[in-house]
Amino acid sequence: MIDSLKTITPLLLTLKVASVATFSALLVGVALAFLLARRKFPGREWLDAVLTLPLVMPPTVLGYYLIVLMGRNGWIGRWLYGTFGVSLMFTWQGAVVASAVVSLPLVYKAARAAFEGVDHNLEKAARTLGLSEGEIFFRVSFPLAWRGILAGTMLALARAMGEFGATLMVAGNLPGKTQTLSLAVYDAVQAGNDHLAATLVLITSLVCLLILVTSGKVFRTNYLKEIEP
């Protein structure tokens, strides 16, 4: 019974954190990808580099930056606590922020490439027909780019489920509160509980494989529908 709780609780928390983080990364990543794919402005390449940085930055370094921003005395954390009495440190919401930041580049890069692959002439034609910019995005740009965005989103979900370093620094490793699957594996290995560690590793691997296989099937199915006469 105890081992079951040690398995199910981190799994449910991981699914919750990863889902919210991926949804947040999707909204921000798609908006920024469309902006950078369609607009030229000073510093655009620097912004692109900053958005891609979490892919190559050590998770502990990224976690330190998040602490500087979101800690009780951080730039954003001080404002949140002083205005709303909210602290993200050592909470599952903090884990969401950490996972979202880590997975954001996967959505952003895939979405930008997808938007850049959309024929600009179709968007120009939509403008001549009187569509607003919002209508052009939802009726032309996004429908033509959605397969690439979906691929990036599924990769981001898998990445969010496996996030460890930044989450550990921001949210801690509190069983039943902020302990995700990757943190539970670390705890089990440290405690010498090989059976629990192996079980958690198997669950994590199966869930990530399921996500990747599902995304691949969705991608291929819709692609075949589009090319069928």
Domain count of the fold of the chain: 1
Quick one: pLDDT at residue 83? Answer: 87
Give the CATH number for residue 107.
1.10.3720.10
Quick one: pLDDT at residue 214? Answer: 78
CA atoms within 13 A on the CB side of 16: 16
Query: Is residue 156 included in any domain, yes or no?
Result: yes
pTM value? 0.89
Tokens read off for 163: 């996030």
Quick one: pLDDT at residue 68? Answer: 92
Residues with pLDDT less than 50, the chain: 1-2, 222-225, 227-229
| % of the chain beyond a pLDDT of 90 | 52
Residues of the domain holding 62: 17-178
pLDDT digits 0-9 by tens, 54-81 = 999 998 999 999 999 998 888 898 998 8
Quick one: pLDDT at residue 229? Answer: 47
